[in-house]
Amino acid sequence: MQPNDITFFQRFQDDILAGRKTITIRDQSESHFKTGDILRVGRYEDDGCFCTIEVTGTSIVTFDTLTQKHAEQENMTLDELKSVIAEIYPRQNQFYVIDFKCL
């Protein structure tokens, strides 16, 4: 079986497939993705592949510069986004935004 290139928590799968989630915010360990990359996407919980995405852009953001636009692209409120980021990446401040579209 082919390994996945990137994983998402299962709770985000429907939003990704429906085009409601169009970015992901990651830490330094996943800062290597670049525009044009085609990625096999899996669920974090069971590594099951559920789609393929194309990276359409990348940028750097800090926790304090997260905006309402980032939240909308994640299909959540800004407070929810900040809470999720703080939970997944405690004590980190710099992040890498990966813009994508489902193929």
Question: Catalytic residue at 74?
Answer: yes
CA atoms within 13 A on the CB side of 11: 4
Question: Catalytic residue at 22?
Answer: no
What pTM value is reported for the model? Answer: 0.93
Catalytic residue among 7, 22, 24, 58: 24
- The Cα–Cα gap between 34 and 61 comes to 16
User: Could you tell me which residues come within 8 angstroms of residue 12 by beta carbon, excluding any fewer than 6 positions away?
Assistant: 21
Catalytic residue among 7, 22, 58, 74: 74
Catalytic residue among 21, 34, 45, 82: 21
Considering all CA atoms of the chain, what is the largest pairwise distance in Å, rounded to the nearest integer?
Answer: 40
Helix (H) or strand (E) holding 86: helix 78-88
Question: Catalytic residue at 30?
Answer: no
What are the pLDDT tens digits along the chain (103 aa)? 578 899 999 999 999 999 999 999 999 999 999 999 999 999 999 999 999 999 999 999 999 999 999 999 999 999 999 999 999 999 999 999 999 999 9
- Report residue 37: phi and psi, to 5°: -60, 140
